[in-house]
Amino acid sequence: MPSVISFTGRSGVGKTTLIENIIPELKAKGYRVAVIKHTPHGFDMDTKGKDSWRFSQAGADIIAVSSKEKLCIMQQPPEETPLEQIISMLETQIDLILVEGYKHSQFPKIEVVRSPISSNILNGLQNIEAVVSDQQLPLDIPQFRFQENRSIANFIIKRLAMASLVPVMDLASCTS
């Protein structure tokens, strides 16, 4: 199973931007990275009137769109697919999965906090390994600022390597 770390926090705190900035740091160290984004409000990747949308509207259960640049497989499951099942679909292709959301999962988490949207971590969250924030919080776990992308990526690599969950490709160059 690939290593998984989830980025949690209230809406609008910068989780997507943070993940977007960390991916190149992990890729530069040779990791194959996937991102799974949880959106409890639903979404639609199809463009109205395009072929994939038409197939979806016709009732297809799975639609795959392929080109030499991208492959997209869309499924219309009867209920939300569990995170563990999504991870199992990717496990042979990926070293590390960055998850946005799934705050109640059992996977390690990095909590993202930004004032004035939030001033503390979400209540009751388990497995918080670190915090990324624009303020210093009274917590006894590693804390990073938003611009510390390399340090955050190195923390992820070190933390997951210590747990023997991720291959140590470039651990020697991981400096905080």
Q: Flag whether pLDDT at 176 surpasses 50.
A: no
Check residue 28 and give its pLDDT.
94
- Which of the pair, 164 or 77, is modelled with greater confidence? 77
Q: Which residues of 138-167 are buried (b: 16+ CB within 10 A; e: fewer)?
A: eeeeebbebebbbbbbbbbbbbbbeeebbb
In whole angstroms, what is the distance from residue 142 CA to residue 140 CA? 7
CATH superfamily of 3-43+80-173: P-loop containing nucleotide triphosphate hydrolases (3.40.50.300)
Query: In degrees, to the nearest 5, what angle opens at C-alpha 139 toward C-alphas 99 and 174?
Result: 55
Q: What percent of the chain has pLDDT over 90?
A: 39
- pTM, two decimals, is 0.81
Taking the mean position of all CA atoms in its chain, how far away is CA 84? 13
Domain spans, the chain: 3-43+80-173
In whole angstroms, what is the distance from residue 16 CA to residue 37 CA? 9
Helix H or strand E encompassing 38: none
- Peptide bond between residue 167 and the one before it cis (omega within 30 degrees of 0): no
Tokens 């740091």 found at: 25
DSSP result, 62-116: EEEEE-SS-EEEEE--SSPPPHHHHHHHHTTT-SEEEEE--TTSSS-EEEEE-TT
Check residue 131 and give its pLDDT.
95
pLDDT, tens only, 107-137: 999 999 999 888 777 766 678 999 999 999 8
